[in-house]
Chain A
Amino acid sequence: MLDKTTALHLSNRLGFGPAPGDLARIADAGLDNYIQAQLHPQTASLPHNVTSMLRSLPSFGKDTGALYAEYWWRAQVPDPKALAPEEKKKLKRREKQVLREAQNARLARAIISPWQLHEALVEFWFNHFNVYEKKGADKIWVGAYEEEAIRPHTLGRFSDMLLATARHPAMLVYLDNAKNVAPAAAGKADEMNSDADPKKKKKKKESGINENYAREVMELHTLGVDGGYTQGDVISLAHILTGWTVGSGGEADAADAAKLYKRDKGSFHFARRKHDPAQETLLGRSFGGEDVNEGEQALLMLAAHPATAHHISYQLAQYFVADKPDGPLVEAMAKTFRTSGGDIRAVMGTMLTNPAFLASSNVGTKYKTPYRYVVSAARAAGIAPDNRTVAALSRALMDLGQPLYGCITPDGYACTQTAWLDPDGLLHRISFATELGNGAYSGYASNGDLDPPDPDRIAEAVGPALSKQTRAAIEATQRGSRAGAILGSPDFMRC
């Protein structure tokens, strides 16, 4: 039988904090059993109300090709410019709905799934391999990206996730590799068109090396900024990855792009003629060849690089243990990463059984990100996620400065106190907490009134999270304000 403080720590760090009854359940399970269960999630098994909610979302579970055909109207309508304004508005609304459904699917599972570690890792890895919903067709693809490239690999092999993200249309569009094309192919196109009219020539010229993905995959996804690569390596990798693109668009003006690639509409497409087969040197090793295997080998080399082991371990430890994780902890994790061939479950196991994980200096010391704050508040208040409530929580995340799928930069959202603790954001959280306490995010009672959460049940749910002083101040206040006071207290800002 585990003490409640340790149970709270497990709930806070292996997930998004306790829902009513969780602390007792974790205490009963015990430390090792709980960690092992979380390391082996049965993600297909979810509470009935969530599976039926997910089933109710028309776009959920569709692959990028299907989404493209169904929702990316710019490429489907013969002449988008000729559409009546009313018609266009309808199509845009329908398209926007895909993003909303992705947000709902994510938040509902984060709030209610018993596989909390898996859900935390979904957030972690999505940020690690961030894509942004406002770039081209990513508007309709962020959800599919998460389902196809992130969720299957949260506790799997790092290299599998790296390859899955690298060839995913959402990433190819976000970091421009979809437009990274061999200079020779560009040159040929120019020659062919040298007599053509200047307008046409300009269009053909839109092909050539684009370094964006090649740089970020080394700086952010694998080696880290101090990982020992040079500008020359960036250029080499860009050449190696030429031709990795998306069939028929995914670009900002897909109607135009639809004419370029007829095959693999809205899916990964290797454009052999746009690929540079020349030999390139990347981190001292030579690469070349005419197919997709060249790029895969290069990415596998990056995944297996010792700098990657360190970089990933540091980031995991920062997310799960401390803003500035201990060197020995990170080194132990990096060692597991190296010896296990990048087995994320093994690395997580090393982290969770390291004494640093339970050290008192690392308990209750992380300042919650807005995402963690909102999800933990919804859990503590026992909010039953339905489409209406999670949509409202999604808007709250925007107000708190962390819109879901809305991080524009490829480094994703930070998870540290330095990044998020500021006076204005804190006041926003407090006003969110008081609204939640007043029932703004709950369902309705049978008489049609708002049904605010029960403050005693919340206080019980979060248990030792509240200090004695906070409990005293809350008990001294009128009952109607207590739920908001608990969730808006300084104690609940930390985990």
Chain B
Amino acid sequence: MFRREFLKFSAAAGGISFASFGRSAWAVQNRAAGHERLVVVFLRGAVDGLNVVVPYSEQEYYELRPTIAIPRPAQNGGALDLDGRFGLHPALGSLMPAWKEKSLAFVHASGSPDESRSHFEAQANMETGTPGMHATQDGWMNRVLAALPGKHAPTEAVNFGKTTPRILEGIMPVASISTRGQYGGGKEMMSAPGLDAPTAALFDRLYAGSDPISVAYREGRAAQTQLASDLSRDMMEAANGAPSARGFPEDAAKLCQLMRRDPTIQLAFFGLSGWDTHVREGATEGQLANHLKPLGEGLAQLRSGLGDTYGHTVILVISEFGRTARENGNGGTDHGHGNAMWVMGGPVSGGKVYGQWPGLDEDNLHEQRDLAVTTDFRTVIAGVLTRHLKLDAPQIASVFPGAPAGAKVEVLRA
């Protein structure tokens, strides 16, 4: 609390010094709202958590997965040892520095209390934050946005993708950045191409109404103007050249630049697909490994590229459910239940696998097939929102109505 008050005060007293950096009025006003950041990466399609945070000390793991298990550490292609019990998928070697400096943690056997094995339903559950309640329209990140204090800027939440995902849907405006463009020059970085002045004036007139379409237009224009100035400046300064890798690492680099530049950005969201490994999932190498590698590199990119801001950033990696403990007949895994959540960032009390491990005995598996859920995903996020974004109990209740109160898994330093 003290820190937030202090920032408010310094911003009020020192507006001029911010202005001298050429920041817009949004930035000046919003700095006061605090600059703790939350990045959520949603792995759509259900990532196989048992091959990400590998329970290599369990014999059952190897019995259940004769062809796709990750070998024990020190074996050829083996897991990277985390704590003597669990190991990390070897394709995620880029994350070991973060683990060693204790800014990376996992919460194993976590997930939704709802048992749906439908991708769409389970994603909706995790994005609305109200599992089992179909009526909820808005997403929990949008409700977080609404709960944050201060004047709201059009770029306070940034979504990487073409359409607003459920998790960010709601009354608060959200800026979108297209992930399609090559990383090259300032202009093509912009999601929607900018309009020239007379055309913009014409459409500003056409979209002057108060209907939802006109409102969306104005939000888009405001975000476009703001992001264009953030990015074009950075592109000029990017003397080292932009990362050449495609996909997530590239987008993560974009986010680093935006966040370093623009203190109004507090929330960011990435949805990454391709985790629905029903067939030929692979083990040390293969389909899952090929997806994990750029994910790990992108997260490592956030750690190095955010600079000091990393100390004020929490990154959550979540997925709608886990996959069957047993491999199926196609060298893949089917829709399951419990999964591992990833938590990364400066404020994280890391180097630890959190959560109550239920084990992989047939008796302990959910419906004799899936890793059980022993930690409700909302309790982990609620803990982050409390310590990191300083939301109070009523605000948490507005973000996760109906969530179990009390028992939280604390993954951040006090």
User: CB-CB < 8 A to A183: which residues of B?
Assistant: 329
A176, A212, A423: the one contacting B219 at CB < 8 Å is A423
Interface of A, secondary structure class, is: helix
User: CB-CB < 8 A to B213: which residues of A?
Assistant: 367, 421, 426, 490, 493-494
A409–B120 Cα distance when bound, in Å, is 9
Q: Which of B214-242 contact A (CB under 8 A)?
A: 214, 216-217, 219-221, 223-224
A212, A419, A424: the one contacting B191 at CB < 8 Å is A424
| Bitwise interface map of A from 462 to 492 toward B, beta carbon under 8 Å scored 1, else 0 | 0000000010010001000100110011100
Q: Judge whether A329 is part of the interface by a CB distance below 8 angstroms.
A: no
Give the Cβ gap from A365 to chain B, nearest Cβ, in Å: 11
| Bitwise interface map of A from 181 to 213 toward B, beta carbon under 8 Å scored 1, else 0 | 101001000000000000000100111111110
Interface of B, secondary structure class, is: loop
User: CB-CB < 8 A to A95: which residues of B?
Assistant: none
| Contact (Cβ within 8 A) B329 A186 | yes
Q: Judge whether B164 is part of the interface by a CB distance below 8 angstroms.
A: yes
User: CB-CB < 8 A to A460: which residues of B?
Assistant: none
Q: Judge whether B3 is part of the interface by a CB distance below 8 angstroms.
A: no
Q: Of A142-150, A264-272, A428-436, A439-447, which binds chain B?
A: A428-436
B163, B195, B331: the one contacting A206 at CB < 8 Å is B331
| Contact (Cβ within 8 A) B278 A212 | yes
Q: Judge whether A417 is part of the interface by a CB distance below 8 angstroms.
A: yes
Give the Cβ gap from A128 to chain B, nearest Cβ, in Å: 14
| Contact (Cβ within 8 A) A481 B202 | yes
User: CB-CB < 8 A to A484: which residues of B?
Assistant: 199
A231–B370 Cα distance when bound, in Å, is 13
| Contact (Cβ within 8 A) A426 B216 | yes
Q: Judge whether B328 is part of the interface by a CB distance below 8 angstroms.
A: yes
Q: Judge whether B356 is part of the interface by a CB distance below 8 angstroms.
A: no
A211–B336 Cα distance when bound, in Å, is 12
| Contact (Cβ within 8 A) A206 B329 | yes
| Contact (Cβ within 8 A) A225 B163 | no
Total interface residues on A, CB under 8 Å, equals 52
A176–B332 Cα distance when bound, in Å, is 11
Give the Cβ gap from A212 to chain B, nearest Cβ, in Å: 5
Q: Which residue of A lies closest to B367 (CB)?
A: A231
Q: Which of B169-208 contact A (CB under 8 A)?
A: 169, 173-178, 180, 191-193, 195, 198-199, 202-203, 205-207
Q: Judge whether A418 is part of the interface by a CB distance below 8 angstroms.
A: yes
User: CB-CB < 8 A to A427: which residues of B?
Assistant: 191-193, 195, 217, 220-221, 224
| Contact (Cβ within 8 A) B163 A425 | yes
Q: Judge whether B118 is part of the interface by a CB distance below 8 angstroms.
A: yes
B66, B163, B221, B278: the one contacting A176 at CB < 8 Å is B278
User: CB-CB < 8 A to A431: which residues of B?
Assistant: 192-193, 195
User: CB-CB < 8 A to B220: which residues of A?
Assistant: 422-424, 426-427
19 contacts between A and B (CB under 8 A): A181-B329, A202-B331, A206-B280, A206-B331, A208-B328, A209-B329, A210-B329, A215-B118, A411-B120, A420-B163, A421-B213, A422-B164, A423-B174, A426-B220, A427-B193, A427-B217, A427-B224, A490-B207, A493-B213
A-B complex: 10 closest residue pairs judged by Cβ atoms: A208-B329, A423-B220, A427-B192, A401-B162, A424-B176, A422-B164, A423-B219, A427-B220, A431-B193, A490-B213
Q: A176-B330, A210-B328, A210-B332 are in contact. List 9 more A-B contacts (CB 8 A).
A: A179-B330, A205-B329, A215-B118, A231-B367, A420-B163, A422-B174, A424-B175, A426-B216, A434-B195
